Structure 1
Amino acid sequence: MEKRVVLFLVLSLGIIFGYDLLLKELGYSPFTTSPIIDQEERTTSLPKTGTEAEITAPTSSEPHSISSSIPSSDGPFITEEVVVVETPLFRAGISGRGGVLTSWELKKFLTQTEEKIPVELVYTNGQFPGPLTVQVKGGEVETERLRQGNFQVQKDFDQLDAAHPSGKVVLTHSSPDSDIWVQKELTFHYDSYVVDILIRTRGISGDLDVLLGTNFGVVEWGQGFIGLLGSAWKVGEELEKQSPDAEEPILRRDGPVRWLALQDKYFMSVFIPEDADGLFSKLETEMVVSAGMSLPGGSGEQVHKTKLYAGPKQYDVLKSFGIGLEDTIDFGWFIYGSWSIVKGVAKPLFSVLRFIYDYTNNYGVAIILLTLGIKLLFVPLQYKSYKSMQGMQTIQPKVLALQEKLKDNKEKLNLELMKLYKEHKVNPVGGCLPMVLQMPVFVALFNILYMTIDLRQAPFMLWITDLSAQDPYYVLPVLMGISMVVQQKIMPTTMDPTQAKMMM
């Protein structure tokens, strides 16, 4: 028994210490980011907000009005430039080329790299069209015009704050050699990651695909066992996902789309449309996923409404939409068939953890207190397990005697053992069953600590500055190994063979 424990500890420590070395050998980093362009280069390349971002705008302090039709020729147009929208929560870049998002930096969340710069959600390498690209189904020429064409950009605000809580950016494209006209009206809010979007079209006979983007919201994939989660959606009431290793590279779903998301463990982008009648998800290359929604077209003017959320996967925020977005935080992950049980335990535990945090203001302390509370709740079960093991120790000599006497008659041995257990009112698995009952709770706690963004870059004490990252000095894993050895030393050494096999 002790040899196996020592072997287990040696192998565990080998895995822990060898994990980083293996990743480096394979060319990865434990905190690898999505293969986007250099974050510092992107940050410095964005125009500044205010007058520098709107160099063609008049100097009047009055906000510019925006109509639902094509902006007038004297409006503040920005062509093939990037206009910046800045709020207390994020900083977004919008290009007049294609009328797409080129950047979406989250101010309150920093990268896991040494530079600690704002997290960038938009994946940009020039190969894939950007978020909000409009494509015409079956119309390659029209699609190329909309991708590469210039959109006139009109912005009715300089900055968003409590005094000016919302503002609009309108992007309008009118094809000079066709009847195609597309307008995207984006309404931003200073205190929200949500953008209200109106898409107006004319002269398009076919249906449309509006791209959520490629890896838009996928930031960090090289962390732990799960990493990048890819795309997810709800058509009707059914939640579906496409992971980067899915067998089908392209998926299409028809029906009323409740929402469509691209996500990793901590961040996501989501379309919440009003009238989308289908969607697609496509694996472009390894670890690169694209997604978009389908909208009905028509030669007359069409108006489509949708919401865009691009930000952290915070449970309360996602739940507030009331459409099941919180289910993208997979608290139920464990083994096949146990998802609902673990999830049912995880949600109350998560609520208790945050309740404790409200008083301690330290998630490390909150985790310790929650763990102690769970242990106290299980004291009756542990006591019952201990009593069962004591009972088995008491009859151990009789068990051994029967095994020696009836070693050639297994059937009779089993019958005699059952009589012996019944006579002394002991259960051979009674010491193990309580531990099995505790498993969903501790698996649920593991899932909470692994999946929730609340712990990302949350400090504890001393050298532990990020509870979502591994211990940089491996102090805690070593202490855990020592504590396991101590526990094995103080546990009863005499055990029924049935229990011993289960414990091993």
Structure 2
Amino acid sequence: MESQRSILIIAIAFVSYLLWQQWHADYGPQPVQPISQTQTDNVPAGVPSASSVSANNGTDEDVPVATNDSLPQAPVNSGNQQHYVTVQTDTLNVTINLVGGDVVHADLVKFPVTQGSEELYSLLRANAGLYVAQSGLVGQDGPDGSSEGRPLYQASAESYTLTGDTLSVPLTWSSNDGISITKTFTFSRNHNDVDVSYAISNNSGRTATFQQYAQLKQTTEEAEGGNMFMPTYRGAAYSTADNRYKKYSFDDIEDDKLRISTTGGWVGMLEHYFVSAWVPPQSETNSLYSRMLNGQYAIIGYTGTPASVASGQALELSSTLYLGPKDQDKLAKLAPGLDLTVDYGILFWISQPLFALLQFLHSLVGNWGVAIILITIIVKGAMYWLTKKQYESMAKMRNLAPKMQQLKDRFGDDRQKMSQAMMELYKKEKVNPMGGCFPLLLQMPIFLALYWVLLESVELRHADFVLWITDLSVKDPYFVLPILTGASMYLLQKLQPTTMTDPMQQKIMQFMPVAMSIFFIWFPAGLVLYWLVSNVITLIQAKIIYASMEKRGIK
């Protein structure tokens, strides 16, 4: 198998894969378009009702349904009473609606929208493309499942700022019959996970029953999303005891309501580099659910195990809300499978060790671009023996070309005799016809795994390299890397001899470096840097291999 044909096959396979990803993006989950404040005030809340929450046995009746028709509107402020509180920490700027105690806005302090911008990336938002994290208590006595609407909590301050290692934001509510609830958000320094707990005190004179619920809700239309050059997923996901990570797109939510009972688990909404997730108590049985409201608002959430508290007694329930980047190390500590939201696909078992190696190299050199160069050198060096076998096998096949032509002239159209003669020739010359292809097939999973590492890793977002390349997660602004990559492919073509006689094949191969340079224009600079370094190393390895072959008499 000739080297040029190998390059052509790789390029066609790679572009076909990207086209498939684009098709999936076009007909899969669609991104969210900003909507006006007026619209957000009339969005169905989709809060579970007391009557619909029960022990999950897999029936439709067990899926929580909306009990109120609109998102609770905050009453007009009166005196010192405020209906929104803000929280500022070193990682999050959060706004909490006192109606229900929902997190309706969350800015990621360490992640600006664009590099150098003062505007922070908003993961949750209520005004532009609804995306909120709701939580509360339903069940027989839960205030969030009441027909009177969701509870209005009270707060002791309008704003809170983290000054120590932790910050607690308590919200209080009391019923007319003696039930009091304190919903507390606990923030920690250098953490994107928030502990949400409920301290319930029952002085009603009867046993009260509560059930914790939490859900993420967002619109399913958006202006931005992945493309064929950067295929990314935007949608929901969940985890169960039997399935550590499962995507559940907006189309899936619309077509089939999620109804799963599991020990532990989690639910989340995913973007390219960021994730929001509710993590319930991992030792309890939780019911995961999803639904679509008005064909426009996707919800994924969970309800916990019903809990009873006798009169005069107290009860505490809790869950964890994560709002932040796809940091694999931190996510893995929160819940099993949550780190898999950094989606490397079926090659995760290769990608995860490669990412660990990339992290280690960065810890040594302090520059992600240099770390990419080093990991490419290491990977290409480790696969040198495969490359050598590939080149030697292709050289032997080229040397057999005259004898192959003689067989064609001798046997003409008799394919059976031609095949037998070819097998005898391969056996006599000790040449494996698959020798040039098999090493290539072994290398492809590693190259694709490294591709996904560089595409999915939030660490490369706004990561500086050198000179004009100040962000490895976006395209080269001056297209220098794509041009150099195309030039390196051209040099590889010139270095490797060819026996192609078909003019059309020759033209395709000559145009391939130009076509790949055009494709690489839209690729993130980190990916193009990896491909360029890989080509340069291949050039060096090819020169070494050819020199060794010449010494052994292999032309």
1-side partners of 2:464 and 2:296: how far apart?
Answer: 30
Instruction: Give the fraction of aligned pairs with identical amino acids, expressed as a percent.
Output: 30
Q: Please give the alpha-carbon distance, in whole angstroms, between the structure 1 residues aligned to 2:118 and 2:427.
A: 64
Paired position in structure 1 for 2:367: 362
Give yes or no for the alignment of 1:150 onto 2:163: no
Aligned-partner Cα distance in 2 for 1:465–1:391 = 45
Correspondence for 1:258 among 254, 262, 265: 265
- Cα shift readout 1:168-223 (whole Å, capped 9, x = no counterpart): 212222345x676543122221232222222245689776462332249x999524
**TM-fit CA distance, 1:4:** 12
| Cα separation, 2, equivalents of 1:250 and 1:449 | 34
Counterpart in the other structure of 2:275: 268
**1:463–1:360 Cα change, 3 Å:** same
Structure 2 counterpart of 1:408, from 413, 426, 430 = 413
Q: Specify whether residues 378 and 205 from structure 1 end up closer, same or farther in structure 2 by C-alpha distance, changes over 3 A only.
A: same
Residue type at the aligned position of 1:293 = Y
Cα distance change on mapping 1:9 and 1:443 into 2, 3 Å: closer
Distance 1:480 1:452, change over 3 A: same
Question: What is the one-letter code of the residue matched to 1:317?
Answer: K
* Structure 2 counterpart of 1:42: none
CA contact (8 A) 2:275 2:326 kept: yes
Give the 5 Å matches for 1:7-18: none
| Closer/same/farther in 2, CA of residues 9 and 390 from structure 1, 3 Å limit | closer
Following TM superposition, by how much is the alpha carbon of 1:373 offset from its aligned partner in structure 2, in angstroms? Answer: 2.0
The offset of 1:320, in angstroms, is 2.6
The alpha-carbon deviation at position 424 of structure 1 amounts to 0.3
Matches for 1:196-207 after TM superposition, within 5 Å: 196-200=195-199
* Unpaired runs of at least 5, structure 1: 17-22, 27-31, 39-76, 334-338
Give the CA deviation at 1:411. Answer: 0.8
Counterpart Cα distance in 2 of 1:158 and 1:142:
25
**Normalising to structure 2: TM-score of the pair?**
0.68
Matched, 1:311 2:324: yes
Q: Structure 1 residues 432 and 143, CA, compared in 2 at 3 Å: closer, same or farther?
A: same
> Any idea what SS the aligned residue of 2:255 has?
coil
Give the direction of change, closer, same or farther, for the CA distance of 1:441–1:386 in structure 2 (3 Å limit). same
- Indicate if the aligned counterparts of 2:84 and 2:97 stay in contact, CA closer than 8 A: yes
Segment drifting more, 431-440 vs 322-331: 322-331
Contact 2:266 2:335 in 1 (8 A): no
The CA RMSD measured in Å over matched residues stands at 4.1
Distance 2:6 2:383 in 1: 27
Cα distance in 2 for residues equivalent to 1:475 and 1:232 = 38
Q: Does residue 480 of the first structure (1) align with residue 493 of the second (2)?
A: no
Q: For the residues of structure 2 that align with 1:309 and 1:142, how far apart are their CA atoms?
A: 22
Aligned partner of 1:290: which letter? I
1:68-105 deviation line (CA, Å, top 9, x unaligned): xxxxxxxxx96443222222122212222222212221
The one-character-per-residue Cα deviations of 1:107-160 (angstroms, maximum 9, x if unpaired) are 111114895511112131499794233364799996366755421114699532
CA, structure 1 residues 298+90, in 2 after alignment: closer, same or farther (shift >3 Å)? closer
Report how far residue 478 of structure 1 moved.
2.7
1:242 to 233, 244, 248: 248
- For 1:117, the equivalent position in structure 2 comes to 119
The amino acid that maps onto 2:325 is P
Superposed CA deviations along residues 367-395 of structure 1, whole A, max 9, x for unmatched, are 11211222222222111111112211222
Contact 1:86/1:159 (CA < 8 Å) preserved in 2? yes
Equivalent in the alignment of 2:340:
327
Q: For 1:70-109, list aligned pairs within 5 A.
A: 79-109=81-111
Q: Is the 8 A contact 1:98 1:146 kept in 2?
A: no
Amino acid paired to 2:473: S
Q: Is 2:427 the partner of 1:422? A: yes
Distance 2:401 2:395 in 1: 10
More RCO (CA 8 Å, sep 6+): 2
- Separation (CA, whole Å) in 2 of partners of 1:81 and 1:369: 53
Alignment-derived partner of residue 547 in structure 2: none
| 8 Å contact from structure 2 (residues 290, 298) kept in 1 | yes
- Report the equivalent of 2:58: none
Give 2:304's aligned residue. Answer: 295
Correspondence 1:394 to 2:399: yes
Mapped pair 1:212 → 2:207: no
Which range is displaced more, 451-460 or 122-131? 122-131
Determine the C-alpha separation between the residues in 1 that align with 2:457 and 2:473. Answer: 9
CA distance 1:4–1:191, change in 2 (3 Å): closer
Contact 1:269 1:310 in 2 (8 A): yes
Q: 1:425 Cα shift?
A: 0.2
Moved more, 263-272 or 439-448: 263-272
Q: What TM-score do you get using the length of structure 1 for normalisation?
A: 0.74
Distance across 2 between alignment mates of 1:205 and 1:413: 85
Query: Distance between the aligned counterparts of 2:404 and 2:263, measured in 1?
Result: 65
CA spacing shift, 1:232–1:212, aligned 2, 3 Å: same
1:186–1:268: structure 2 CA closer, same or farther, 3 Å change rule?
Answer: same
SS in 2 for 1:255: strand
Task: Flag the 1:448–1:401 CA change in 2: closer, same or farther, 3 A.
Answer: same
SS of the aligned residue for 2:250 comes to coil
Would the alpha carbon gap of residues 126 and 365 (structure 1) be closer, same or farther in structure 2, given more than 3 Å must change?
closer
Q: Deviations over 1:379-438 (max 9, x none)?
A: 221111111122112221111111121122111110110000000000112112111110
8 Å Cα contact 2:132-2:218 kept in structure 1: no
Contact 2:212 2:306 in 1 (8 A): no
Q: Structure 1 residues 9 and 383, CA, compared in 2 at 3 Å: closer, same or farther?
A: closer
Counterpart code for 2:169: V
SS in 1 for 2:322: strand
Q: Would you say 1:192 and 2:194 are equivalent positions?
A: no
Letter in 2 for 1:325: L
Change (3 A) 1:349 1:302: same
- Structure 1 residues 85 and 373, CA, compared in 2 at 3 Å: closer, same or farther? same
In the aligned structure 2, how far is the partner of 1:146 from the partner of 1:458? Answer: 50
Change (3 A) 1:429 1:479: same
